[in-house]
Structure 1
Amino acid sequence: MASMNTTSGAGKTILVTGGSGFVAAEVLNAFLTRGYNVRTTVRNEASANKIKKSHSKYINQLSFAIVKDIQIPGGHDEAVKGVDGVIHTASPFVLQVEDNEPYLLKPAITGTTEVLASVQKYAPNVKRVVITSSFASIVDNSQGLRPGYIYSEKDWNPTTYEEAAKKETSGSVSYCASKTFAEKAAFEFVEKNKPNFAITTLCPPMVYGPSGSVITSLDHLNTSSAEIYRLMNGSSKEVPDTAVWGFVDVRDLGEAHARAFESPEAAGQRYQASSSGYSYQQVCDIIRKDFPEKKDLVPEGTPNAPLPDVYKLDNSKIKTELGMVFKPLEPIIHDMVAQFIEIEKATGKA
């Protein structure tokens, strides 16, 4: 998708937190192609070196700040100095933890509010902070497939903090709740502290597409890429149950962050950033059709089965207000699988 303005960022610096992430790689691309200088936070030099390699074309526009722990008060003070905008993508994504509150809930919330506090204190030029939230903060998991329901930005995951903090509550339920509390905490921070900046939040469902990072091993893929790779490497014998019935292309999501930053109308807004509904059956059908050499490794299931009667995702707001056009499922899965096959060949796994 073409950007709105390819020179809009000349002379400006954007901070992207968690720059080595799957989504962050495309956020970097969206801003770098527009001419922005991008400073990104990483945990260590090794992560910085990976980004230098994957985004070598823009090396002169890139700089790095080491932030070892996003929760530490003042941890972003140095990173935000002199920047004109902040894109906050860093957040813990773990589902198996010993204790939900210290490992999931608090890191998500304080990781967000500490960034905002640093911006308020040390980055007076910042007028917009864009935060990567999640469809997890919209969906009501207790409702299951919820036939006939259409989720939009007006919906909030209703899990209470007390319930999410219980040790017996599953990691996935607490993770979804953590995204809700972090997002709400961001809006509350602005309401209470009246900073110079407005925030915009983006809530994507499953994020797919080829990785913009350098991948050296297929054993350490990000979560959503691993979900697709298992469908083509023989490890899934059956078509798995679809957990989230919506998706978005990672490249489109990167573009959405840049538009949310540049659009005056996006101030204070929340956007459901999704393409459409899908199922793992459809993913398997695409791989079997487009890559016949992999056919025997891909579970067959019930080819061409229609989607069951499940909830839908309303993306009309982000399309209308930010002019987004989203890729459909087939080219996204095709591009992912083609990349996986290249890596298999390069790493001797083919």
Structure 2
Amino acid sequence: MNGGGNVVCVTGASGYIASWIVKLLLLQGYTVRATVRNPTDAKKTEHLLALDGAKERLKLFKADLLEECSFEEAIKGCDAVFHTASPVKFDVKDPQTELIDPALKGIMNVLNTCKRAPSVKRVIVTSSTSAVCVRQLESTDVVDETFFSDPSLCTKMKLWYPLAKTLAENAAWKFAKENGLDMVVMNPGFIIGPLLQPTLNFSVEIIVDIMNGKNPFNSSHYKFVDVRDVALAHVKALETPSANGRYIMDGPSMKTHDIKEILLESFPDLCLANT
């Protein structure tokens, strides 16, 4: 499949990864139906409407993860669907309401709509390495796409975001298998790179925290992947007929010290706080 004449839907289109997916799809000639919670909110939509090709081939649709059938209009008649919409938070007061319900109910709403839309040939879902890595591991274990995080361990450790992503992905695979849905899942790690949206998102904020002398995950090592690579991988997952299953996207392990060195190399005038 290539862009010309094909219509695709991107859920949560104003988000960090989704905005880049929309940009690449438009550049390749796709017609894009983009869902957002509020199409009249200029802060969330202006950067999308300014993209090359948006005037001719981008249409915004109102949809909410918790509202059944709200994706119907956007998905009807589409050749494929990119489901990226899901909250990204690690500091939550009510994990069920803030994370689990939107992730789980949202993905089921989208997949149920795709099942009812005969035009949809493939669904590409954005999951996370957090749905892969939270489990009891032996020191010799190499984590690959066959690994799933353990929901009971996530709950025990109060890792609510990994729990939400794991429950959502597990439910999605069960549904896809039971209903013969062609689904490909992307599992990126921490994502960095240029922002298209005007607001700072969670994963880029990690870099800002490190610049300010904080260590958000109290970790000596971080792994990052470029948002442009992640977006391109999503598009390739649509355009490559043999693509199937899950794909981990992650970069090499870096020490916080290395991250600061790279920042200073790129921006010599930067004032970095000491950790």
TM-score under structure 2 length normalisation: 0.90
Candidates 162, 175, 183, aligned match of 1:199: 183
2:223 equivalent in structure 1: 246
Q: 1:63 offset after TM fit, Å?
A: 0.7
Q: How far apart are the structure 2 equivalents of 1:102 and 1:9?
A: 37
1:22 equivalent in structure 2: 16
What is the correspondence of 1:72-87 to structure 2 with a 5 Å cutoff? 72-87=67-82
Residue type matched to 2:177 in 1?
E
**Given the superposition, is the C-alpha separation of residues 137 and 247 from structure 1 closer, same or farther in structure 2, using an over 3 Å criterion?**
same
Query: Considering only CA atoms, is the larger Rg found in Structure 1 or Structure 2?
Result: 1
Q: How far apart are the structure 1 equivalents of 2:204 and 2:67?
A: 30
What is the correspondence of 1:1-350 to structure 2 with a 5 Å cutoff? 8-44=2-38, 45-46=40-41, 47-53=44-50, 55-67=51-63, 69-121=64-116, 123-140=117-134, 147-160=139-152, 164=155, 170=158, 173-194=159-180, 197-213=181-197, 215=198, 220-232=199-211, 235-236=212-213, 241-242=218-219, 245-267=222-244, 269-294=245-270, 296-299=271-274
Deviations 1:54-87 (A, max 9, x none): x1453211111011x2121111111111111100
**Given the superposition, is the C-alpha separation of residues 272 and 36 from structure 1 closer, same or farther in structure 2, using an over 3 Å criterion?**
same
Kept after mapping to 2: 8 A contact 1:239/1:284: no
Q: 1:237 offset after TM fit, Å?
A: 6.4
Q: How far apart are the structure 2 equivalents of 1:245 and 1:149?
A: 18
User: What SS class does the counterpart of residue 151 from structure 2 fall into?
Assistant: coil
Deviations 1:83-124 (A, max 9, x none): 111000000112233332233222211110110101111x21
User: What SS class does the counterpart of residue 210 from structure 2 fall into?
Assistant: coil
Kept after mapping to 1: 8 A contact 2:107/2:168: yes
User: What SS class does the counterpart of residue 252 from structure 1 fall into?
Assistant: helix
Residue type matched to 1:59 in 2?
K
User: What SS class does the counterpart of residue 202 from structure 1 fall into?
Assistant: strand
Q: How far apart are the structure 2 equivalents of 1:105 and 1:271?
A: 22
Q: How far apart are the structure 2 equivalents of 1:59 and 1:249?
A: 27
**Given the superposition, is the C-alpha separation of residues 107 and 237 from structure 1 closer, same or farther in structure 2, using an over 3 Å criterion?**
closer
Q: 1:290 offset after TM fit, Å?
A: 2.2
Kept after mapping to 2: 8 A contact 1:136/1:180: yes
Q: How far apart are the structure 2 equivalents of 1:227 and 1:237?
A: 9
Q: How far apart are the structure 1 equivalents of 2:200 and 2:263?
A: 18
Kept after mapping to 2: 8 A contact 1:29/1:254: no
Q: How far apart are the structure 2 equivalents of 1:202 and 1:10?
A: 24
**Given the superposition, is the C-alpha separation of residues 76 and 141 from structure 1 closer, same or farther in structure 2, using an over 3 Å criterion?**
same
Q: CA-atom RMSD, angstroms?
A: 2.3
TM-score under structure 1 length normalisation: 0.72
User: What SS class does the counterpart of residue 246 from structure 1 fall into?
Assistant: strand
Structure 1, unpaired ranges of 5+? 302-350
| Structure with the higher fraction of residues in strand conformation | 2
Percent identity (aligned): 31
